[in-house]
Amino acid sequence: MKSEYASGFKIAASIFQKLLEAVEDAGGTDADVRRIETNSNLRKQIAELVVQGKKLVDGTIRLLVDYTRPLANMLKEDGQFDWVHSDITEKNFPITKRPNGEADLKMFHFNRDISSDQVIQEMNKEGYRPAELPEGLAHAKANPDEQRKYPIVILGSVWRDFLGRRFVPYRCSDSDERGLYLNWFDREWLEGYRFLAVRK
């Protein structure tokens, strides 16, 4: 279906004007604006930023998060994993009701073994909280192959089993498959793990 923006000259002119102002604010010139027309790679980069969320100065990425769908739908539509741990259910991981909208997500990496509590403390110092499943799955949708590089822990969603042990989901790859697994909250994570966080 053709976008309404493609046929709406007034809207298109307004968007271009705002883009022009942003280029000028960044110190650009008319020649820089002309590159949008002449450089196909630049147009592709702009399009990817618009679709997937813009990267911010401090390394965060802004994504639209929907907290209203059932977890099963999020897993199927956003995660599209080859394998999901059978205990990752809405009963065990109820969704925190938050307003739908954009969220700023950032990946934390500490280059050392670290406990979950220490990770959360470091996130708090920078004004972030641990990501929950809706945010982790929105990130998975926008960045499906990132978990092939390293495991990504979602510390904000915690399930306590009948023995009182606490578990959290993490995204990882096993061979060619992408999965959503569980691991103990009360453990030391090895230095290779990353931790997804959301700006408060």
92 and 30 co-located in one domain: no
Structure confidence at residue 1 (pLDDT): 47
59 to 64, 95, 107, 175, 191: CA distances (angstroms):
17, 26, 8, 28, 20
34 and 87 co-located in one domain: no
Kindly report the CATH number assigned to the domain that includes residue 123. Answer: 3.10.100
44 and 67 co-located in one domain: no
78 and 29 co-located in one domain: no
43 and 65 co-located in one domain: no
Structure confidence at residue 116 (pLDDT): 98
Residues of the chain short of pLDDT 70, as ranges, are 1-8, 48-58
- Structural domain tally of the chain? 2
68 and 48 co-located in one domain: no
19 and 89 co-located in one domain: no
45 and 66 co-located in one domain: no
pLDDT digits (tens, 9 = 90+) for 56-93: 556 789 999 999 999 999 999 999 999 999 999 999 99
Asked if 93 contacts 160 with a C-beta cutoff of 8 angstroms, the reply is no
**Cβ count within 10 A of residue 1:** 3
87 and 185 co-located in one domain: yes
Please count the CA atoms within 13 angstroms of the CA of 198 that sit on its side-chain side: 22
Packed helices 30-38 and 9-25: angle between N→C axes, nearest 10 degrees:
130
**Cβ count within 10 A of residue 194:** 19
46 and 70 co-located in one domain: no
Residue 138 belongs to domain spanning: 61-199
CA max distance for the chain: 65
86 and 184 co-located in one domain: yes
What is the spatial distance between Cα 162 and Cα 44, in angstroms, rounded to a whole number? 50
What is the spatial distance between Cα 106 and Cα 89, in angstroms, rounded to a whole number? 25
Cut 0.75: pTM above it: no
Reference 78, options 63, 93, 92; nearest CA is 63
Structure confidence at residue 59 (pLDDT): 75
141 and 177 co-located in one domain: yes
Structure confidence at residue 50 (pLDDT): 64
